[in-house]
Amino acid sequence: MRTGVGLVRYLGPAQVSDLVLQVRPEIVLQDGRAQAWVVGSGVPVDDQEQAARINRVVAEKNLVVVDAGALQIVDFENCIATCVLTPHAGEAAALLDSLGKTIARAEIEADPIAAAILISKLTGQLTVLKGNRTVIAQGERSYQFDSAPAVLATAGSGDVLAGIIGAMLAGNAQDIASGESDLFDVVKAAITLQAKAAELAAKNSTVVALDIAEAVGRVIANS
């Protein structure tokens, strides 16, 4: 919400929906039009109901951030959506294994650029390989960030990043579709925004993931 996105929908289990409303009563718990989707955070790989929903989303011309459990749920052969994949090294190893390429987590961590490029080529999608030095890859094109703020190792920071990317995709959806904005550059800006928010949040207290999310608005206001 702190990115300035106009409306956020949540579609998921009723129990989680109740918790979401307790924290963010402005969130809409109904299906409807969306400029971008974020799928997979907190979703078990074997959740068949959620898997069916996710594959319906990627089977249409949507902008979709594919995170966590959804990385092994999405049927990339039948994926029409423009996706941004956001695995960490362990999830990348599992995804590659599901795609017929067995690469150990240690190998991925040793050469994240090669791993991100390989995932992007195999899936046909832009890939963000999260780590100490996060990598973006889109085909042969790649970019590696400098060392991330230490607070980004906190649990849930990956979910925050997925949300920030989703919000920025939504905000730039029309320009991405027309070619006026480059998907790679939009995602790069989202990762930079999260890093700045993490640094800002860390100035005042011990940081948890929601602190990073709350700091996003202040980073935008000061930019």
- Mind listing the domains of the chain with CATH numbers? 14-222 (3.40.1190.20)
Output the DSSP codes for 100-134: T----HHHHHH-HHHHHHHHHHHHTSEEEEBSTT-
Of 41, 39, 68, the C-alpha closest to 56 is 39
Q: Give pLDDT, residue 23.
A: 83
Q: Give pLDDT, residue 32.
A: 85
Q: How confident is the model at residue 2 (pLDDT cuts 50, 70, 90)?
A: low
Q: Give pLDDT, residue 1.
A: 53
Q: Where is pLDDT greater, at 1 or 57?
A: 57
Write the pLDDT tens digit of every residue in 29-69.
Answer: 888 889 999 999 989 999 999 999 999 999 999 999 999 99
Antiparallel, parallel or unpaired: β 63-66 and 141-144: unpaired
Output the DSSP codes for 16-37: HHHHHHHH-TTSB-S----S-E
pTM for the model? 0.95
